[in-house]
Structure 1
Amino acid sequence: MRNILMAGAAALFLAGCQSDSQKDRALVGGGLGAATGAVIGAATGNGVGGALVGAAIGGAGGAIVGSATTPKNCVAYDKNGQPFRVVCP
């Protein structure tokens, strides 16, 4: 149980590394979801099986949400030709 809690804490610290990359956000979301699912699955009393199922479901859900919530940044140019980022329509 202690290992699962340590993995969950590490995942939360890594979540602070924000990225605009869809792949990076999917990986972080999957990791956080897997850690959270494993902790919840283990806490329900189903042992290792519950932790594995919770990790699988949480990882898949976290990856989907992380990928879907990636901000979409487009590049626009001002009158002098300097690029700047804007939210895509």
Structure 2
Amino acid sequence: MLLPISEFDHAEKGDALNAMELALSLERINNQKLLNLHSLANENNDAQLADFIESHFLVDQVEDIKKISEYVAQLRRMGKGHGVWHFDQMLLNGGVVA
């Protein structure tokens, strides 16, 4: 039986490190867009929008970028193989290595 073609057949696309690097780049793009919106609100003297963006999005965005950056660094250090399995288990267990 033939398996359907998957976008993860490519060795790098199915890699955990590649997935985390892509997630990190998306978070950074999202953060930049929020910063642009915040500066636009400031330029137009819309203090309520600027405050809303600061209090609801920017702090969480920076924390997410930091967390994913740490994941990328860990995956780079451990390389492929058994370490990736332990990393997956840590994510499944909410940050606690089993």
Superposition TM-score, scaled by structure 1 size: 0.38
Superposition TM-score, scaled by structure 2 size: 0.36
